[in-house]
Structures are given as C-alpha cells and as structure tokens.
C-alpha cells in the first residue's frame, strides 16, 4: 500500500463502497426470503459493519504506515490485501451476475425469478469467495514440480543428463517465519537429487531482516555440484524509504552475505565456468535488468567477458524481458532462466494450455519458450507478494534436464 498515493487509496475505498451499496441492494432481495425479521436485520448489520471496518482499516493503515514496525506492517498489508480481494471480487461478480439475470430474464416466470435469480446470484458470489480463500490458505503452499527435458546440439557430452533445479521469487518475508511451510518445498527439491540448485532473484520483499532464522532451513538444500543465485528487483531495497544511503547499503550487503552464509555463489554480473572431462559450460549471472520503471543494474557484456570462448552458456537473469531485449539474436546464450512475473499468481494452466492476465503486460511470462534453439524458462515463483495466495498458478519448483541432441 505504501507505493500508492492517498488519493489512489481513497479511490479504492470509493470503489469498495459503490460495489457494496449495489451488493446490499441485491442482498435485500435474498434476505426477504428469510422469515425471521431479526435474522434479516442481523445479516444487514454484519454486512455494513464489515464494509465500514474494511474501509476504515485501509485508510488508517495508509495514514499511519510509516509509524508501524516493519514486520507488523508487512503482516497487516498482506492481511488487508487478502481481505479486500476476497470481499471485493466476489461481490463484484455477484452484482454483475444478478443484474444481468434480472434485466435479461427470459428463462423464468416472474414468480420463479423472485427465488431463482437471487439464489443464482448468491452462488455466483460465494463460488469465487471460496476459490479465493482456497488460494490463500491452501494453493499458496501446494508446491508443484515442472519437469522439462531440453536437448541442445552444442551441449558437451560430459553434461548430458545434467539436472538443474530452479526456484525463484521466494519473497521470504511473506512466509512470516513459518519455516516448516518452506521446508516442505526444500524436501521436494532434495528428492530430485539435482546437480545444481539455482535461485533467480527476489529472495526478500525488501529487507534483510526478513532472513533472520532462515539460515538453518536453506542449508538443508542439497546439490551434488553447486548452488548459484542472482538478485531480483526486490533485493535492492528500492521499494522502501531509508534513513540514509548507508542504511540501504547495509541492508543490501546483508542480503548478499546471507547467500554466502547458506553456501550459494551469488553471481553479480559475472560468470563461472564448469568443467567435466576437459569440456566446459558457462553459467552467467547478471544483476537485475528490467524495462522501466525497473532499474537496470545488469551488465551482460561485463558478465560474459571471460566466457566468450565457451560454446554452451546458461544465463541467469531475473526479469524475462531481458531475453528479448539483449539476449535473443544478440548472443549465443543457449538457455536463459528467469522469474519475476509470478504468473501473476492467477491464471489457468493445464498441460500445454495456460493463460493469465499477466500475458497482457509480459510477452513471455511463464514456462518454456524457444526461438531457433535459444531457450527461455520463466519460473512462476515459489512465494507470493501482495495478494497472499495463488489461484490456478501454483508455486513452482523447476527441474530442467539437459540432453545432447
């Protein structure tokens, strides 16, 4: 909420109020079916107590946001975000459906419509409510492994069957120190017995203090040959106000130190050469590079300086827009691993079919993309940010097996 102006917050509250007034109008057509006047009034009172309470909480939180403890602030924002979405969206759908049914009612008699239309409208509101609640309390932590086998002509034979596990966008602060929830994902990762584990950015929401106590959990990740990581846009602390430049830099340094403490090699516009039986591949890691308004810390040319003679290259770059802007057609990088989009934490994915509203913002937003043998894989994220759940876009563990074509 801090990134939004008070005017924007007030507009949101007006939208909530308008939808609730319309919802209440139609709700009365449903409650009139109840014989008990006392129960009717009770439902009406509860409806408006919730609405007024939600709007008041949103405005108050915005006004006092700077004075709240950062950890408590993060919890409050997430809770209000979830509460607002789970209230506003079902009511909006309820109002829309029941209005359409009422004004285009040719299926039922007038008597039938007095009962059927309100009940259908009510169901249309409750269904998305339960879907959203499921997304918050269950789906957000139903980790799914996406297994992809990718073949390359230029992959050295020594690296045939190399197994890479990619995770991304953990946003560790959103877990609120619930270590066991993330341990379940790490157990699944270890069962895959990867050669390399790679984190492609956004370890935190903003702050290094989010990482307190997590060292023991991350040290449980096991890779046969190595663990690598890059930074994402949220790892720089750019979305918060700092008392001084030094405080922001200390926060950034502590995040980088955490990677060292848990045994991950953090690639900051640099690369590593991996050798097997006198054959080499390169793994390149750039700092965050994104289109405006995201800052471009990444320097691909600098990162590739010492691997120009290595024929097979893997790039770790948090923002997938980097692939089309600086990688595709301009380099001989074979595989790029990204994250960033979260698949918007909302969408539809079944076998080879997938859809999300995020596709209207990002050309490449989730899964595997191929253009003339240059591949991009976008992880849907392991954590969440903003809306505290996932609907149709489960948190992802990616297993990539490299094969010689």
What is the pLDDT tens value at each position of the chain, 405 positions in all?
345 788 889 999 999 999 999 999 988 888 887 889 999 999 999 999 999 999 999 998 888 876 666 777 777 888 888 999 999 999 999 888 888 877 776 555 555 565 666 677 778 888 899 999 999 999 999 999 999 999 999 999 999 999 999 999 999 999 999 999 999 999 999 999 999 999 999 999 999 999 999 999 999 999 999 999 999 999 999 988 899 999 999 999 999 999 999 999 999 999 999 999 999 999 999 999 988 778 899 999 999 999 999 999 999 999 999 999 999 999 999 999 999 999 999 998 888 889 999 999 999 999 999 999 999 999 999 999 989 999 999 999 999 999 999
DSSP readout, 69-117? -HHHHHHHHHHHHHHHHHHHHHHHHHHHHHHHHHHT--SS-HHHHHHHH
Instruction: Note whether residue 260 is domain-resident.
Output: yes
| Judgement on whether residues 244 and 314 belong to the same structural domain of the protein | yes
Instruction: Note whether residue 1 is domain-resident.
Output: no
Q: Which of 90, 111, 137 is the last residue of a domain?
A: 137
Q: Of the candidates 201, 194, 209, which has an alpha carbon nearest to the alpha carbon of residue 74? A: 209
In this predicted structure, what is the pLDDT of residue 315?
A: 98
Domain interval for residue 365? 144-404
| Judgement on whether residues 168 and 235 belong to the same structural domain of the protein | yes
CATH of the domain at 306: 3.60.21.10
| Judgement on whether residues 153 and 72 belong to the same structural domain of the protein | no
| Judgement on whether residues 161 and 130 belong to the same structural domain of the protein | no
Percentages helix, strand, coil for the chain (3-state, rounded to 5) are: 50, 20, 35
| Judgement on whether residues 132 and 149 belong to the same structural domain of the protein | no
Instruction: Note whether residue 351 is domain-resident.
Output: yes
| Judgement on whether residues 310 and 275 belong to the same structural domain of the protein | yes
Q: Which of 109, 137, 165 is the last residue of a domain?
A: 137
Instruction: Note whether residue 85 is domain-resident.
Output: yes
| Judgement on whether residues 317 and 358 belong to the same structural domain of the protein | yes
| Judgement on whether residues 202 and 321 belong to the same structural domain of the protein | yes
Burial class (CB in 10 A: 0-12, 13-18, 19+), 150: middle
Instruction: Note whether residue 148 is domain-resident.
Output: yes
**C-beta atoms surrounding 292 within 10 Å:** 6
| Judgement on whether residues 317 and 295 belong to the same structural domain of the protein | yes
Q: Which of 76, 104, 137 is the last residue of a domain?
A: 137
| Judgement on whether residues 271 and 221 belong to the same structural domain of the protein | yes
| Judgement on whether residues 131 and 194 belong to the same structural domain of the protein | no
Structure tokens at 5: 């102006």
Instruction: Note whether residue 280 is domain-resident.
Output: yes
Instruction: Note whether residue 253 is domain-resident.
Output: yes
| Judgement on whether residues 322 and 392 belong to the same structural domain of the protein | yes
- Looking at the structure of the chain, the number of domains it has is 2
């Amino acid at each position: 909420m801090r990134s939004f102006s008070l005017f924007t917050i007030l507009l949101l509250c007006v939208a909530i109020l308008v939808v609730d007034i319309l919802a209440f109008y139609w709700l009365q057509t449903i409650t009139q079916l109840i014989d008990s006047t006392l129960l009717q009034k009770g439902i009406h009172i509860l409806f408006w107590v919730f609405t007024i309470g939600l709007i008041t909480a949103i405005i108050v939180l915005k006004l006092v946001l700077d004075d709240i403890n950062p950890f408590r602030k993060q919890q409050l924002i997430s809770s209000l975000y979830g509460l607002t979405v789970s209230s506003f969206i079902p009511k909006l759908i309820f109002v829309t459906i029941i209005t359409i049914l009422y004004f285009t009612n040719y299926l039922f008699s007038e008597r039938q419509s007095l009962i059927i239309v309100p009940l259908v409208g009510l169901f249309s509101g409750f269904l998305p409510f339960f879907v959203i609640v499921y997304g918050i309390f269950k789906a957000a932590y139903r980790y799914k492994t996406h297994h992809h086998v990718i073949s390359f002509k230029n992959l050295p034979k020594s690296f045939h069957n190399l197994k890479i596990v990619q995770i991304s966008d953990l946003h560790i602060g959103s877990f609120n120190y619930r270590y066991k929830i993330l341990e379940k994902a790490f157990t699944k990762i270890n069962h895959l017995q990867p050669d390399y584990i790679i984190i492609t950015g956004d370890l935190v929401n903003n702050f290094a203090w989010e990482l307190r106590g997590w060292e023991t959990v991350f040290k449980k990740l096991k890779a046969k040959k190595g663990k690598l990581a890059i930074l994402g846009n949220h790892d720089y602390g750019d979305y918060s106000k700092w008392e001084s430049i030094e405080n922001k830099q200390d926060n950034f340094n502590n995040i980088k130190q955490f990677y060292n403490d848990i045994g991950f090699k953090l690639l900051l516009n640099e690369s590593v050469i991996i050798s097997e039986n006198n054959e080499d591949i390169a793994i390149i890691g750039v700092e965050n590079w994104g289109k405006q308004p995201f800052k471009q810390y990444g320097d691909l040319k600098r990162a590739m300086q010492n691997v120009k003679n290595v024929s097979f290259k893997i790039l770790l770059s948090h923002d997938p827009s980097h692939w089309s802007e600086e990688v595709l057609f301009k380099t001989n990088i074979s595989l790029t691993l990204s994250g960033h989009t979260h698949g918007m934490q909302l969408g539809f994915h079944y076998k080879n079919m997938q859809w999300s509203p995020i596709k209207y913002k990002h050309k490449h937003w989730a899964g595997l993309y191929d253009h003339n043998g240059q591949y991009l894989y976008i992880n849907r994220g392991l954590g969440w940010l903003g809306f505290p759940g996932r609907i149709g876009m489960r948190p992802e563990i990616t297993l990539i097996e490299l094969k010689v074509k």
